[in-house]
Structure 1
Amino acid sequence: MRLRTDLPETIETERLVLRGPRVADLDDLVAQANNWKVLEPTASLPFPYEAGHGRAFLEKQQRSVQHPYVIAEKTSDRLMGIAGLYLHPDSPIELGYWLGEDYWGKGYAPEAVSGLLAVCATIGLSPVRARVLAANKGSIRVLEKTGFSVIEQTVSVVERHKGKPLLVLEWQG
């Protein structure tokens, strides 16, 4: 498996730039993440999402198995959401993402995920897995559009969703 240092600092798509989080992103991070509709389907983001949570996220990135990218519009460079990879030494890489509600339904999530997967394919990071609540039809569509297939149906063990139906999907580069 490749290390997080093999991933580029920025990834460009037609409309987006995926780049590392910056301290200057804090206000947009809190504004977009502090929304129950955005956070409820995530496994671990707290609600309400406050400035202290955002600062902790921005500070811990250098010591983490996560490799997050800010999803930003090319024209404004403002944070719209986060997409990232969890690089585990003994299990497949896992994709996670969220997008602020103002940006839903405009094709940004599949565009960001496709950009990230293109890099994974280029540097040999495969397979990539994603977990999604079975009721989260929007995220399931994003994952299927970007080449993921369901490999397992199970139930969630995370506290917020304990016992709810969960799908595990996989992408092969």
Structure 2
Amino acid sequence: MIFETKRLLVRKLKHSDLEAFYELESNPKVLQYATGEPKNFEESKEDLEQLIKRYDDPTNDFWIYAVENKQNEDFIGTVALIKDEEGNDEIGYRFIERYWGNGFATELCEGLIQYCKSIGMKKLIGCVVDENVASAKILERLNFVAIEKFISDDIGLPETKYELIL
């Protein structure tokens, strides 16, 4: 376990997450504000394998963890901690569509902030596509401050970069 909240457990990805991971990675609605196109089953399997291998790489700066519903142990999404181009600690998350609207994203971000503080991080970054109003509201509610507007290189949409000093 990496950390937990009242309803969520954040842990390393496992091979047994494949079916749910594929559900997440194949849904165009989940990926509409993220990089990449929806993936087929084989691509999802390959991605999951690569993400699991990263845990053992001492030079890894791209951590993707599973988000599990503690009540039933269902895989419901992923959370990312990534060093960006400037060396900042960037966060990101995705949830399987059927779990949207349950307050999981806010709860996850609150827990993630506490976890990051506990391991000595000083600042978090979150980049949100401007059309993704729900995610922007979550970051703003958690005291992230907008520091930059830009057009993303990967998906070509206007984004806002948010920062939280821990």
For the criterion TM > 0.5, the same-fold answer is yes
Gaps of 5+ in 2: none
2:16 to 24, 37, 47: 24
Structure 2 residue aligned with 1:128? 124
2:161 aligns with: 168
Counterpart residue identity of residue 31, structure 1: E
Normalising by the residue count of structure 2, what TM-score does the alignment of the two structures yield?
0.89
Query: Counterpart in 2 of 1:152?
Result: 148
Shift of 1:79: 1.2
Match of 2:41 in 1: 51
RMSD: 1.6
Structure 2 residue 115 is the aligned partner of structure 1 residue 101:
no
TM-score (norm 1): 0.85
- In structure 2, the CA distance between the partners of 1:31 and 1:118, relative to structure 1 (3 Å rule), is same
Q: Distance in 1 between matches of 2:124 and 2:46?
A: 26
Conserved in 1, the CA contact under 8 Å of 2:22 and 2:45?
A: no
Deviation at 1:115, TM superposition (A): 1.0
- Identity among equivalent positions (%) equals 27
Cα distance in structure 2, aligned partners of 1:152 and 1:90? 14
C-alpha displacement of 1:58: 2.1
**2:28 matched residue in structure 1:** 36
Q: Deviations over 1:103-134 (max 9, x none)?
A: 11110011111111111111211211111111
Shift of 1:74: 0.2
CA deviation after TM superposition for structure 1 residue 87, in Å: 2.7
Give the total of aligned pairs.
160
Runs of 4+ in 1 over 3 A off after TM superposition: none
Structure 1 unaligned regions, length at least 5: 1-8
